[in-house]
Amino acid sequence: MSNQHFGNPLNEQRQLVEGQAYVLREDMAVFEVSGPDAKKWLHSLTSQNIQGLKPGDSAEALLLSPNGHIEFQLKVIATEESVLVITPFESRAALIAWLEKMVFRSKVKISTVDFLVVGAFTELETDAPVWVDPYSKESTTSVRYANDRASFPYREYLMAEPPKLARAGLMAYQALRIAAGRPELSDIDDKTLPHELDWLSSAVHLSKGCYRGQESVAKVHNLGHPPRRIALLHLEQGDVLCNPGDAIEYQEKTVGKVLAAGLHFELGSIALALLSRNTPYLDLSVRVGQNLYQASQQVLVPHDAGKAANLPRPAAFKLSRKNV
């Protein structure tokens, strides 16, 4: 049986939201960083304040290129003696290989560990290490560009065996995270900046010390605007499912691409889209194969995101067709 679903994905979404089901994140893998310098060392490399974590605390961090583009995602859990890291399975080997090159004289050891990564939208009765997703929480150490953000009370538990709940597939989880505008590493390309996906809010500490890519992060936020912005699309034809990479058009011009898509039990057909910054806040079209489907646009990152010394938003970007 496919791990994408175990029956009706829409029912599985409801069960997840109601805390009656879990999703086995077989697309995730775990490794451990141990040794006396573990937190200090990871702190120096990543975009997040890891050094300040106490045992049981969790956080999200990114590894960036020197130009500030996203390369790796780390879901970090601090323990008494080490740091556990959850990361996409496909990128774990590359991430560990890069980290091992950066050890130098630091007293750290990197090792893979065998855990089941169990995703749930409720608190489970367990002593297992847990990563609490910070994406829908208001950040006190960074900035959130979205005016509003949907609740996303998601957690990942590191367990030896699954809980005694119904099992939901990855399709159910994907639809829920798309509806919340929650980005994942599968959404990026080689030019993606954290600002574009509103990822500063949960994964970037804007006042921590130097790390690779910090200068670019600060420059875009303080002086400029990210060249692209994430949006949530609601397709008018509710039974049409678009695909990652499908072109998004406005007035017969390509203005972006689909990052992820799904069928939601309440919202119907939805998609995360990455658009050119100045794409108007109006209805768009998604090209699926040879067909065009209309889609309304829910703005997640506004066109004037960044530039902390901001001027008022131009009237041309009010939600009105008269401005186009």
Domain-embedded: residue 107 = yes
Domain-embedded: residue 4 = no
Q: What does 190-210 look like in DSSP terms, one character per residue?
A: TT--GGGGT-HHHH--TTS--
Pairing of strands 58-64, 247-250: unpaired
Domain count, the chain: 2
Residues 212 and 89 in one domain: yes
**Tell me: the pLDDT tens digits for 76-101?**
999 999 999 999 999 999 999 999 99
Provide the CB-side half-sphere exposure for 157 (13 A, CA). 19
- Return the structure tokens found at 75: 């879901």
Residues 76 and 113 in one domain: yes
**Tell me: the pLDDT tens digits for 120-129?**
999 999 999 9
**Tell me: the pLDDT tens digits for 181-223?**
999 999 999 999 999 999 999 999 999 878 999 999 999 999 9
pLDDT at residue 43 is higher than 50: yes
Residues 32 and 172 in one domain: yes
pLDDT at residue 289 is higher than 70: yes
Are 211 and 44 in contact by the 8 Å Cβ rule? The answer is yes
The closest alpha carbon to 146, from 201, 204, 88, belongs to 201
Residues 56 and 139 in one domain: yes
pLDDT band for position 275 (cuts 50, 70, 90): very high
pLDDT number for residue 315: 38
pLDDT number for residue 70: 98
**Tell me: the pLDDT tens digits for 57-69?**
999 999 999 999 9
pLDDT band for position 323 (cuts 50, 70, 90): very low
63: CATH: 3.30.1360.120
Query: Computed from CA positions of residues 246, 248, 249, 253, in that sequence, does the dihedral angle turn out positive or negative?
Result: negative
- Average pLDDT score over residue span 259-288: 97
DSSP tally for the chain: helices H, then strands E: 6, 16
Q: Domain range spanning residue 255?
A: 226-306+314-323
pTM of the model: 0.92
Residues 178 and 83 in one domain: yes
More confident residue, 309 or 198: 198
Residues 108 and 239 in one domain: no
Domain-embedded: residue 159 = yes
Q: What average pLDDT does the structure give for the chain?
A: 93
Q: Which backbone phi and psi does 219 adopt, to 5 degrees?
A: -65, -45
